[in-house]
Amino acid sequence: MIELSGLTKRYGLKTAVRELTCVIRPGLVTGFLGPNGAGKSTTMRMILGLDRPTAGRALVEGRPYARLIDPLTVVGALLEARSVHPGRTAYHHLLCLAQSNGIPRRRVGEVLDLVGLGAVGTRRPKGFSLGMGQRLGIASALLGDPRILIFDEPVNGLDPEGIHWVRNLIRRLASEGRTVFVSSHLMSEMALTADHLIVIGQGQLLADTSMAGFIEENARSYTRVRSPDREGLLDALTHAGLDAVPSRDPGAEGAWELEGDRTAAVGELAADRRLVLHELGHHRASLEEAFMRLTSQSVEYQAHVGAEEG
Amino acid sequence: MTTPPPPQHVPQHVPSQQAPPQQAPGQQPFPPQAPPQVPGQRQQEWQGQAPAGGSSLPMVRTHLGHALVSEWTKIRTVRSTVWTLALTVLLTVGIGLIFAAALSTDDYVGMPLLAGGFFGLMFGQLCVISLGVLVITSEYGTGMIRTTLTASPRRSRVLVAKALVFFALSFTVTLASTGLTALIHSSMLSDQTVPAYEYDNPDMEGSIENGEIVATTGHWVDATLGASLYVALLGLLALAVGTLLRHSAGAISTMLGVVLVPLIAALFMAGESLRDLRDALIEYSPLNGLASMFRIPMVGEPGSGWTMLGLLAGVTAAATIAALARLTTTDV
């Protein structure tokens, strides 16, 4: 279990993380989602005691990370990019980490085999592909067989086979009862792996919800209908027992929305009542759109040219 | 507290539905080999087997010993260590050997028996300094420092272990190099006859016995143990500077400046008015301290090497305390 309470990090005038409060529970994959620069890595570094919070605190298993006496058997972390010395072989990299926590030497070979680097343990990471580097990072996270796993963008740079492998690994770790905290800026990736979602934008908590709840709420399917005779249309719909609500989508002012796919019913109704329709269609919001809508106000580095959707 | 006691561990995020999450239209299914479960169910499962959720490895209370073993593995498994230390030996012994060979034809070389060891070590020490810097800055340069401090969140322990391992290693290698050089010099140059006019030279005090040049036990200790301690301490200072600057090139340049600049600056200080400053710069330059260990100081008493060593130890201790403060209080 990881508990964040009022976690805040300021760099000078810029606030990277603002009063983040949430709990990351065991037995679940918790997705940590946000656009680039939202403060995901900063939050993870504060959990790991690498960065000192300006205010608030982060606790792992009820203690600050720095107080753990055998940190690697409690928390395993895959850090951003490569945090290895490129000139030290994969085996020795893991060995020095194991030794610092009194982990038996045999475990090094085990995790190398586990991540599929058994054959290249004697090579230097200098010559590793991005995917091999990620696997080495995952091996060091698994070294202490920890109860908590923190993965910062684990599928970055992996090929489809590698992505599939990481997904299964993450799900298996959670099903074993471990706490798994995975950051990503890809909603589609999280939809496949996460049970729970924590969304941040510009360092602020935007959502803390179960994946199922998020899907239910955001990936809804609806029918949109628009007529120049707005009131007449609503009248007809209500008489026919169809519930309609005004559309809140920008660019769809004056339109009505109905749950689910009701295009046939609405079309027939309009023909019966001789109502003019300017629009009738079935829409489905993707999770990616829902995520973009959620974070649109907080994207730090927005592309202003061509950002308008076509 | 007005909050009613919550039911034990009900996750706040559990939605009302009891079935697995409905597959949203247009969404890809979850991986078939790991069907999604209701979060609440999974958590209960976990609580039922809580001990199994922990590490299968024995719990160990980590201490400095673990950090020392780990740092020893780190330092011996990168090529920069092998290169810098090999160069230290090569330069110290090699230049010492060339020096001895060049002088062995002369009757009298005009300096104490073991003094020639200085010239090789003068270059060799630069490699030790580079290694001292690299031990820490290579971790900042590659991002390894984040991995290191995640594995060992007691940061002072990491720096202490690094310092001890580096000091022991560089001292041992330097001692072997200076010991070998001293043996070469004493065997190739020991049959010199000292001319009578040198009998009153303070630099030659204790070096003359029955008109022949000799090295006393003190000379041997200074030229090997003393000189190696001096160089290893300089390396330790380099490690502290590296921790403070977190940048390889910056820290190596700074250390080269510390070692070379006082002497070079003094060279260009002509004129009587600058004489005191010039002499002080020369006397307290790190190179003069090392030369004193070999009894050939440019300025100062021939036996002043250990005083300079004490001074260097003080400076190194201060820099190390500053490095500890920087490492333990700043983000990485």
Q: Do A83 and B80 touch (CB under 8 A)?
A: no
Q: How confident is the model at residue B12 (pLDDT cuts 50, 70, 90)?
A: very low
Take residue B170 and report the two structure tokens written for it. 């560089």
Confirm whether B75 is domain-assigned: yes
Mean pLDDT of A130-135: 91
What are the φ/ψ torsions at residue A4 (nearest 5 degrees)? -110, 130
- Write the CATH number of the domain with boundaries A220-284: 3.30.70.790
pLDDT of residue B198: 83
Mean pLDDT of B97-103: 91
Distance of residue A308 Cα from the nearest chain B Cα, in angstroms? 23
pLDDT of A296 higher than 80: no
pLDDT of B53 higher than 60: no
pLDDT of A293 higher than 80: no
Which residues in chain A have Cβ-Cβ distances shorter than 8 Å to B22?
212, 215-216
How does pLDDT run across B173-231, given as a tens digit for each residue? 999 999 999 999 999 988 888 888 888 887 787 888 888 888 899 999 999 999 999 99
Which of B61, B135, B147 is the best substitution to test chain A (most A C-beta atoms within 10 A)? Answer: B147
Which residue in A has a C-alpha nearest to residue B12's C-alpha? A209
Of A69, A145, A219, the CB nearest to B55: A145
pLDDT of B272 higher than 70: yes
Report how far residue B234's alpha carbon sits from residue B240's, in angstroms, rounded to the nearest whole number.
10
Confirm whether B97 is domain-assigned: yes
CB atoms within 10 A of CB A80: 17
The rounded Cα B103 to chain-centroid distance in angstroms is 34
Which of A85, A97, A149 is the best substitution to test chain B (most B C-beta atoms within 10 A)? Answer: A85
CB neighbour list of residue B95: distance below 8 Å, 6 or more residues apart: B119, B120, B123
Categorise residue B300: left if φ over 0, alpha if ψ from -120 to 50, beta otherwise: left
Average pLDDT, chain B: 84
3-state secondary structure (DSSP) of residue B193: strand
pLDDT of residue A197: 94
In the β-sheet with A196-201, what is the strand arrangement from edge to edge?
A75-78, A148-152, A179-184, A29-33, A196-201, A204-210
Residues 31-60 of A with CB under 8 A from B: 45, 48-52
pLDDT of residue B298: 86
What are the φ/ψ torsions at residue B43 (nearest 5 degrees)? -65, -40
Distance of residue B35 Cα from the nearest chain A Cα, in angstroms? 9
Strands (E), B136-235: 208-209, 212-213
Of A145, A175, A215, the CB nearest to B21: A215
Q: Are B114 and B190 spatial neighbours (Cβ–Cβ below 8 Å)?
A: no
Give the rounded percent of residues in chain B with a pLDDT score beyond 70: 83
pLDDT of residue B54: 61
CB neighbour list of residue A156: distance below 8 Å, 6 or more residues apart: A130, A134
Mean pLDDT of A249-266: 86
3-state secondary structure (DSSP) of residue A19: strand
- Give the residue among A293, A265, A263, A268 at the shortest CA–CA distance from A279: A263
Mean pLDDT of A137-161: 93
| Cα distances (Å, whole numbers) of residue A45 to A49, A77, A80, A136, A151 | 6, 10, 10, 19, 11
Report how far residue A76's alpha carbon sits from residue A219's, in angstroms, rounded to the nearest whole number.
33
Amino acid at residue number B188: M
Which residue in B has a C-alpha nearest to residue A26's C-alpha? B43
Which residue in A has a C-alpha nearest to residue B37's C-alpha? A195
Higher-pLDDT residue of A179, A69: A179
Confirm whether B123 is domain-assigned: yes
Distance of residue B48 Cα from the nearest chain A Cα, in angstroms? 10
Distance of residue B326 Cα from the nearest chain A Cα, in angstroms? 13
Distance of residue A54 Cα from the nearest chain B Cα, in angstroms? 11
Q: Are A61 and A74 spatial neighbours (Cβ–Cβ below 8 Å)?
A: yes
Q: CATH 3.30.70.790 spans which residues of chain A?
A: 220-284
- Give the residue among A226, A213, A197 at the shortest CA–CA distance from A295: A197
Higher-pLDDT residue of B4, A33: A33
Categorise residue A253: left if φ over 0, alpha if ψ from -120 to 50, beta otherwise: beta
Average pLDDT, chain A: 89
pLDDT of B32 higher than 80: no
Confirm whether B125 is domain-assigned: yes
Q: How confident is the model at residue A299 (pLDDT cuts 50, 70, 90)?
A: low
Domains: count for chain B:
1
Mean pLDDT of B271-289: 90
CB-side neighbour CA atoms (13 Å) of A240: 19
| Predicted TM-score of the model (pTM) | 0.82
Strands B208-209 and B212-213: antiparallel
Sign of the CA dihedral with A107 first, then A32, A220, and A288 last: negative
Of the listed ranges A71-80, B129-138, B226-235, the least confidently predicted one is A71-80
Mean pLDDT of B102-106: 79
Q: How confident is the model at residue B34 (pLDDT cuts 50, 70, 90)?
A: very low
Of B13, B73, B143, the CB nearest to A196: B13
CB proximity B16 to A under 8 Å: no
pLDDT of B48 higher than 70: no
pLDDT of residue A306: 44
Of the listed ranges A157-166, A228-237, B25-34, B168-177, the least confidently predicted one is B25-34
| Cα distances (Å, whole numbers) of residue A137 to A54, A94, A148, A152 | 28, 9, 15, 10
Strands A2-11 and A14-24: antiparallel
Place of tokens 């054959």: A119
Residues 154-213 of B with CB under 8 A from A: 154
Of B17, B144, B151, the CB nearest to A212: B17
Confirm whether B84 is domain-assigned: yes
Which residues in chain A have Cβ-Cβ distances shorter than 8 Å to B80?
87
Which DSSP category does A63 fall into? B
Domain extent for B183: 65-329
Give the rounded percent of residues in chain A with a pLDDT score beyond 90: 66
- Give the residue among B202, B150, B19 at the shortest CA–CA distance from A101: B150
Of B26, B77, B78, the CB nearest to A286: B26
Name A77's bridge partners: A150
CB proximity A140 to B under 8 Å: yes
What are the φ/ψ torsions at residue B330 (nearest 5 degrees)? -110, 155
pLDDT of residue A192: 86
Q: Do B73 and A45 touch (CB under 8 A)?
A: no
Confirm whether B42 is domain-assigned: no
Which residue in B has a C-alpha nearest to residue A30's C-alpha? B39
CB neighbour list of residue B79: distance below 8 Å, 6 or more residues apart: A87
CATH class of A2-211: alpha beta
Q: How confident is the model at residue A91 (pLDDT cuts 50, 70, 90)?
A: very high
Judge if ipTM > 0.85: no
Q: Count residue pairs from A and B with Cβ separation < 8 A.
A: 199
Report how far residue B111's alpha carbon sits from residue A253's, in angstroms, rounded to the nearest whole number.
98
Give the rounded percent of residues in chain B with a pLDDT score beyond 90: 63
Confirm whether B55 is domain-assigned: no
Mean pLDDT of A285-298: 75
CB-side neighbour CA atoms (13 Å) of B283: 14
pLDDT of residue A304: 52
pLDDT of residue B274: 87
Q: Do A100 and B151 touch (CB under 8 A)?
A: yes
pLDDT of residue B24: 40
Q: CATH 3.40.50.300 spans which residues of chain A?
A: 2-211
